[in-house]
Structure 1
Amino acid sequence: METANIISQLHIGSALLALLLAAFVLIVPKGTPFHKRLGYAFASTLLIVNVSAGFMYNLTGRFNLLHVFVMISMGSLLYGMIPAIRRKPANWLRRHISGMTGAALGVWAAGLAELTIRVLPGFMNPSQIIGIAAGIGVVFFFLIGFLIGRFMKTLPENP
């Protein structure tokens, strides 16, 4: 089996698992041992998704705008996980909520973008497909901001 095919299969399998785990992590009560176990599973799976996506160039044959979203996803994941693991700085919980909400909803945005990449090639050229996928990313960016704002309002001022 060729390397590109193995990477694609790893990416798709881990992405499907990340989609499922992201939904559960956002739904279950926060701070519980179950939430933490799900969170670590989600973070590990998303790490695999992002690393494998970094090696995928089959749409354009080179680095493109979708790879920028991979870097944003990794940044969001690290921004959310590192403070939660270290329990530092003082506002670690706010950072965790921001980063992980972005990571969880970001994986759903990526899933919809991926769907456009799989469905639209027969109808559009790669530039148009990337434009649609980027548009989906922008919509989710604002949705993520809205939800982070809602989650933050439930926190005490200095947790």
Structure 2
Amino acid sequence: MPKVVYSNWGLLHLIAALASLVLGTAVLVLSKGNKRHKQLGYSYVGSMTVMLATSFAIYRQFHSFGIFHVAALLSSITLCAGMVPVLRKKPTLSWQRLHYSFMYLSVLELYVALVAEVLVRRPGMGFWDVVSLSTATVLLPGTALFTRFYKRWQEPSYRPQPKLAPL
């Protein structure tokens, strides 16, 4: 049975990744715009930041900068693109849609990375096998759901209703 964690950086990366998965999923499924959403959202951003930062301390797979580091850079861009509209509240009429879109994509990328990480540890799985299976199992259904949600977000009357729920 192969080891899952090879270093302290790897352990921190794994903990942050698991926290990101739980927090990101919670943010997507729970009501939007309330205090809990903001707390969970900022916690998600924090755990993602730790996960992405620690990914650059892990070089076991390729022994140098590799495809997972490229994915981490792209994920960092997506995460920032999801937070900039929230922090600026611009563009005024569409900042929420931009935020929803990029944060949804951020969580979706996280699930693709999870599947890829699991598959890359299986003997006999080549790079294109991992890419194909990750895409087929996560990205395709996730994109279909995103398209459904995005249509609803485009409706002029759509505004998330803040719900005061106990923490």
The verdict on a shared fold, with TM-score over 0.5 as the criterion, is yes
Contact 1:80-1:99 at 8 Å conserved across structures: yes
Deviation per CA, 1:2-52, whole angstroms, max 9, x where unpaired?
xx7121111001111111111111110111111111111001101111111
Change (3 A) 1:136 1:71: farther
Match of 1:124 in 2: 124
1:94-133 pair list within 5 angstroms: 94-118=97-121, 120=122, 123-124=123-124, 128=126, 130-133=127-130
Give the number of aligned pairs: 150
2:152 matched to 1:154? yes
Deviation per CA, 1:104-131, whole angstroms, max 9, x where unpaired?
121111111111233x1xx227xx1x33
| Structure 1 vs Structure 2 CA RMSD | 2.0
Match of 1:63 in 2: 65
Could you say which structure has the greater relative contact order, defined with CA pairs below 8 angstroms and 6 or more residues apart? 2
Structure 2 regions of 5+ residues with no counterpart? Answer: 1-5, 160-167
Matched to 1:35, the amino acid is H
Fraction of identical pairs, as percent? 27
Structure 1 regions of 5+ residues with no counterpart? Answer: none
Match of 1:46 in 2: 48
Contact 1:17-1:45 at 8 Å conserved across structures: yes
1:7-46 pair list within 5 angstroms: 7-46=9-48
Q: Deviation above 4 Å: which 4+ runs of structure 1?
A: none
TM-score when scaled to structure 1?
0.83
TM-score when scaled to structure 2?
0.80
How much has 1:146 moved relative to structure 2? 2.6
1:1-12 pair list within 5 angstroms: 5-12=7-14
